[in-house]
Structure 1
Amino acid sequence: MCAVTGYDVFLLDISQDAVDRGMSTLRKNLDRQVAKQTLTQQIADDAYPRIGQRLSVHSNSINL
């Protein structure tokens, strides 16, 4: 995941519910990597806020 390496990224989907489900899945994936010791907790915690959420490709605002 690019957010793990320090890049700001965006999750784009058609509804807020879909975005919320996607963010939940991403959090679970990060947590699983921590449990497997392929990531540290600090790296996972730093990566998650780098994932912005959008409902439109034309949006100039970032909803966190």
Structure 2
Amino acid sequence: MTAAVQTSTVSGLSLSQRLVAGALALFLGLVLVGGVGFAGDLAVHDGAHDTRHALGFPCH
């Protein structure tokens, strides 16, 4: 009795593509954290602050 196994290959990203994706994700994260951290509207800032504490991340 023989069983046929079908394998598929997934084309991986090159190193330069992974570095670009990582840099863009880091930039987006910094923009979001910085934008909320320095938001003029206290409701936005306080909401992010409380969420951060609820998730267990200290911020001060």
Pick the TM interval, shorter chain. 0.3 to 0.5
The structure with the largest strand share of the pair is 1
Report which of the two structures shows the higher radius of gyration computed on alpha carbons: 2
TM-score, normalized by length of structure 1?
0.37
The structure with the largest helix share of the pair is 2
